[in-house]
Amino acid sequence: MGKITLDKVTKRFGDVEVIPPLDLTIDEGEFVVFVGPSGCGKSTLLRLIAGLEDVSGGQIRINGEDATLTPPAKRGLAMVFQSYALYPHMSVRKNIAFPLRMADMDQAEQDRRIDNAAKILNLTDYIDRRPGQLSGGQRQRVAIGRAIVREPVAFLFDEPLSNLDAALRVGMHHEITELHARLKTTMIYVTHDQVEAMTMADKIVVLRAGNIEQVGSPLELYRAPCNLFVAGFIGSPKMNLLTGEVAKLHDATTIGIRPEHIAVSTTEGMWKGRVGVTEHLGSDTFLYVHDTGLAEDITVRVSGEVDVKYGDTIYLTPDTHQLHRFDQAGRRISN
């Protein structure tokens, strides 16, 4: 079980309302990612759920029971932070065992849980080492192990991988996703990185200034962002957002077209432009196209095989089935 319900949950620090009244349901077994720019309230929201901060208003229910005033240790949630907070003088085994020793758990049961967590996380061979003798990724796995042995109702992760280099991060994404598939325990994962959100989540909650902008699966957000903020936030490179005449043609204030939904030709197309910077990723190439006569420059994503270079003239044609339209308030206009 691991259903978490937030009902008009509010947080003020002094006079500043960081989280305006917010409703959210996290279903049992879901992998939910809170994503949004730095300072938007992701950590605060997670800490409210964990009980590390008191709510200023509203109710938090865990598995249907009011947990708003329940102390953190009694909520059955396990939090994993960016700083691993391991005890340097203790072995991996002792670090993982720590919450169980605190709870005075029977030794045989402790051993069973620790061995199981070590196996799941590939830490068995390192179990007698100290944190200083481990890599960053292994240390983060120990921190996760310490959460697993508690057999929590839900795992709460606050940007747990920000300290790791890019390659390790990708490896850990897979491990955490795999862990979720195996344990089927509810997970809430906080990140400012939309790629992390897209690759890991069942359900993404996009936050801005403490407000939920949109909740949906990665593909729902990609296909139908509800406003300009989500349109610009989800997807890399960013969706092209065009204003002026071209938008008016489509009865909108702004139209959006993703870089991967624009065809490129050297001979003909809707917009003629000049290639600026090109970024070669190997599989794909990103082109930044100027002088199209539109108010904004255009980013296009083409196959890595396409042979264009700085200064070339090219023609662009958007796939009109993939256009997004937004009104004056920046809200999506449904088709």
Instruction: Summarize as ranges the residues that interact with ligand ADP (CB under 6 A).
Output: 13, 18, 36, 38-44
Which entry of ligand ADP, Mg ion, none binds 87, CB below 5 to 8 A by partner kind? none
CB closer to Mg ion, 46 vs 226 = 46
Residue carrying structure tokens 């991967």? 260
- In the complex with ligand ADP, the residue whose CB is nearer, 155 or 288, is 155
| Beta-carbon contacts of residue 243 (< 8 Å; ≥ 6 apart) | 253, 254, 295, 296
Q: How far is the CB of 21 from Mg ion (least distance, A)?
A: 21
Distance CA 192, CA 185 (A): 23
CB of 190 to Mg ion, least distance (A): 6
Report the relative pairing of strands 77-80 and 211-216 from DSSP bridges. unpaired
Site for Mg ion in 172-191 (CB under 5 A): none
218 binds, among ligand ADP, Mg ion, none (CB under 5 to 8 A by kind): none
Measured from the CB atom, the residue of 205 and 302 that comes closer to ligand ADP is: 205
Lay out the site mask for Mg ion across 8-47 (x = CB under 5 A, - = otherwise): -----------------------------------x----
How far apart, in whole angstroms, are the C-alpha atoms of residue 195 and residue 218? 10
Q: Which is nearer to ligand ADP, 118 or 190 (CB)?
A: 190
CA distance 231 to 67: 35
- For 48, 152, 165, the CA distances from 43, given in Å and listed in that order, are 8, 19, 22
Instruction: Pick what 38 binds: Mg ion, ligand ADP, none; C-beta below 5 to 8 Å, kind-dependent.
Output: ligand ADP
Amino acid at 260: E
**Rounded to whole angstroms, what are the CA distances from 85 to 66, 89, 100, 160, 319?**
30, 12, 16, 11, 50
Report, in Å, the least distance between residue 57 CB and Mg ion: 21
Q: Which is nearer to ligand ADP, 48 or 264 (CB)?
A: 48
Can you tell me whether residue 42 is helix, strand or coil?
helix
Question: Residue numbers of the site for Mg ion (CB under 5 A)?
Answer: 43
